[in-house]
Amino acid sequence: MSKPVLEIKDLHVEIDHKPILKGVNLTVQGGEVHAVMGPNGTGKTSLAQTLMGHPNYTVTQGQILLDGEDVLAMKTDARARAGLFLAMQYPSEISGVTTANFLRTAINARRGEGNQIPLKEFRDKLDAAMKFLEMDTKFANRYLNEGFSGGEKKRNEILQMMMLEPRIAILDEIDSGLDIDAIKVVSKGVNSLAGPNFGVLLITHYQRILSYVKPDVVHIMMDGRIVKSGDYQLAEELESKGYEWVRTALLDQVQ
Amino acid sequence: MTTSTDFEWLDNLEELRQSEPAWVVAMRKQALEAAKDLPWPERSKTPLRGRHADLSVLKDPLLPTAIPASVLATVQSDAYLAFGNGHLQEQALPPEALRQGIIVSALSRAIVEHQNRIQPVFGHVIGQPASRADALNGALWDDGAFIYIPDNVTLKTPILILHYADSQARRLIPRSLIIMGVNSHATIIERYVSASSDERLLFLGAVEISAQDGASVHYGSLQNLSARSDVFMRRQGHVYRDARIDWSIGEFGGDITIASDDTELLNPGAHSTHTMVFFGADKQRQDFDTRITHSSPHTTSHIIAKGVMKDKARSAFNGVTDIKPGAVQSDGRQKEQTLMLSDDAHADAVPSLLINENDVFAAHSASTGPIDKVALFYLMARGLSEKEAIRLFVHGFLAPVVDAIPSDLLRNAVWDSVERKLDQ
Ligand SMILES: Nc1ncnc2c1ncn2[C@@H]1O[C@H](COP(=O)(O)OP(=O)(O)O)[C@@H](O)[C@H]1O
Ligand SMILES: [Mg+2]
């Protein structure tokens, strides 16, 4: 498949008639890593969920395009099949459904009727991915996220990403609650897919993970808007000066 | 309201049943007398609104019918009985089972051939009818299975029983009797199927099980009657010393379903697990009373129910664990969970513990709620269609209970029934 292009244009989003995103512009292409940083409650998760079509978020203005196709016209599952992947900040627990069974169903949903993945091929791929992520293979037969620790859930999100091989991955605080070893493992997973046909939108609160998943562009988001974009140094500047700096120095400037 | 005069035409039971032994006809007549005065089962959540006033369907003869091959195939095995419109059509029993003295027979034949075994038990497990549905079954049962497993005999092969009603049938009144001898073991699965029809089907079913000392029986039941059926089901078990009855009940079919399941733990060491899986769609009404009575010390029980309601379906599950005075060191548990797939669906689950003894353990939990929309979003975000996401979620919800059903055959049949409900 060709190099993906995800374009977000003047995106306005509400929850319960409350404006959350107030005109977000962002383009992620294959081969690029974009980091989105910002304080809590600023709309990062709302952006991620809106990209995937979460029913609670209403788009009131703007466009989302994947390879020029109108993403907002697609249902959530169609977006996934078009190549979008969202690693969720708070993954759901699904009782009674094993991770392995779920992943096979998901892979087959993407491959379509008559093109189902052979069981052996699936097993081998799953084993390899779990090994790569230093996961106990027992996880494959545990119910999806049920009773998983925060860190196990994050690793499981990355496992799913590796198995589904999306074209654009949106990672919502994949690093939160992880120790440094776990961050390295998760980063290794993300980097394993790197290439011209894979783009990343990495949402994070902290600069830490950016040492392992190197962003090409860093965006700072505040109050539902991207207020500043720059290269890796912007993340370092943010780390040293803190979000208060952005609030005073940048937000006034935009308003 | 139905008045007793509606029954007068039934008073010629002797003529209708002239081939039966006098003691059976006498039981039928007694039940018929009771039916005249008893009300239909009264359930607070499921008003019947006089739907069953038309008892003329009890009068017409039920003609034998060929069972469609696809339906018959679900029970054809080494040990089975298949009834079409209440007439025995096919059966099998392995020769070694015969040698061991196992009886798997039509009840209509067994009351003649095995009177000495049947008479002390038949009708005594259920006892006095509690409703008009019970009483009418007692008076008018067509046929059913008689199963006897002799003392110290274990049958590995499951015994399968099919009750099929064709599209002409307006009623079906099956009744089965299972006697488990001392230290005997068996698996018995009964299936109820009817052809789809525009006409209503009045179904009055009854099952009696007696598990004698040290016996164990896994009794499965799967009900897939047509969507125009009024289903009244009565199942009752007596469990003696160190014996156990494990019920696995799947309720899927019918328009209205009213089931009363009652198990009595009569001697020390008796145990019963009662597992029920139900799934209502469209405008189905399902109402289940499941009771386990501990009338002896050191008895244990577990009631487990999982239900799914979609469309405008409604269900009520009432579980009762009744621990009688003196039943010390007894242990009774209940767990009920229902899942609603639409805003118009409704489910109630009410566990009750009636405890008249201090030295016991009892626990219950019940939960009912709508399907988790965020979880569906999560599944769809991986590429599953909404339908597939719901299917996977429902599978996950039911799996802990369905996958624990000890018989492969029943487990697969329950999953098939779930699939069909999901697609309906
Ligand atoms: N379900 C919800 N209902 C109402 N408000 C919400 C909901 N989810 C998020 N919000 C609000 O939307 C804003 C943005 O939240 P979020 O996108 O989660 O931010 P971030 O991920 O940057 O911490 C916050 O003010 C939050 O309170
Ligand atoms: Mg967030």
In order along chain B (424 residues), what is the average pLDDT of each group of 10 residues?
54 71 94 91 79 74 93 95 97 96 97 96 96 95 97 97 96 97 98 95 97 98 97 98 98 97 98 98 97 98 98 97 97 97 96 93 95 96 96 96 94 97 94
Residue of A nearest to B394 (CA): A96
Report CB contact under 8 Å: B379, A94: yes
Check pocket membership of A204 for ligand 1, CB cut-off 6 A.
no
Over the range A74-106, which residues count as b (16 or more CB within 10 Å of their CB) and which as e?
A: bebbbbbbbbbbbbbbebbbbbbbbbbbbbbbb
Q: Could you tell me the end-to-end alpha-carbon distance of chain B, in angstroms, rounded to an integer?
A: 34
* φ, ψ of residue B317 in degrees (nearest 5): -120, 120
Ligand 1 atom nearest to A49, measured from its CA: 17
DSSP state of B40: P
Q: What stretches of B280-402 show up as alpha helix (H) in DSSP?
A: 373-380, 386-402
pTM of the model: 0.92
CA–CA separation, B106 and B109 (whole Å): 5
Using the Cβ of A160 and the Cβ atoms of chain B, whether some distance falls under 8 Å is answered with yes
Q: Is A83 in the pocket of ligand 1 (CB under 6 A)?
A: no
Q: Which domains does chain A have, with CATH numbers?
A: 5-93+168-254 (3.40.50.300)
Using CA atoms, how far residue B399 sits from A96, A105, B392, B405, B414, in Å, is 6, 16, 10, 10, 11
Instruction: Assess if residue B100 is contained within a domain.
Output: yes
Residue type, B311: D
**Is A95 an 8 Å CB contact of chain B?**
yes
Is B403 domain-assigned?
A: no
The parent domain of residue B280 ranges over: 4-371
Does B402 reside within a domain? no
Q: Is residue B409 part of a domain?
A: no
The Cα–Cα gap between A186 and A40 comes to 22
| Model pLDDT, residue B58 | 85
- CB contact at 8 A, B17 and B24: yes
Give the H or E element holding residue A152. Answer: helix A150-164
Q: Are A27 and A6 within 8 A, CB to CB? A: yes
Which-ligand-closest: CA of A87?
A: 2
Q: Which residue from A11, A12, A14, A15 has its CB within 8 A of the most atoms of ligand 1, so it is best to mutate?
A: A15
3-state DSSP assignment of residue A241: helix
The β-bridge partners of B201 are B229
User: B376 in a domain, yes or no?
Assistant: no
Place of tokens 């139900």: B278
Residue type, B285: R
Which residue ranges in chain A fall short of pLDDT 50?
Answer: none
pLDDT, residue B3, reads: 46
Q: How far apart are CA B106 and CA B98, in angstroms?
A: 15
Q: Is position B359 within any domain?
A: yes
**CB contact (8 A) between residue A96 and residue B389:** no
Contact B383 A75 (CB under 8 A): no
Ligand 1 atom with the shortest distance to the CA of A48? 17
The answer as to whether B380 is a domain residue is no
Dihedrals phi, psi of B4, to nearest 5 degrees: -65, -25
Q: How far is the CA of A170 from the centre of ligand 2 (A)?
A: 12
Ligand 1 in contact with A16 (CB < 6 A)?
yes
> Of B124, B40, B48, B43, which is closest to residue B290 (Cα–Cα)?
B43
Tell me, yes or no, if A142 comes closer than 8 A to chain B by beta carbon: no
Contacts of B77 (CB under 8 A, 6+ apart): B92, B157, B158, B160
Strand partners, B318: B289, B350
Q: Does A164 touch chain B (CB under 8 A)?
A: yes
Q: Looking at chain B, which residue has its C-alpha nearest residue A89?
A: B378
Give the number of domains in chain B.
1
Evaluate whether residue B390 is within a structural domain. no
Interchain contact, A76 vs B393, CB within 8 Å: no
Residues of B in contact with A160 (CB under 8 A): 382
- Integer CA distances (angstroms), B89 to B77, B158, B192, B220, in order: 14, 19, 15, 21
Tell me whether A118 touches chain B (CB under 8 Å). Answer: no
Nearest CB among A91, A96, A164 relative to B378 is that of A91
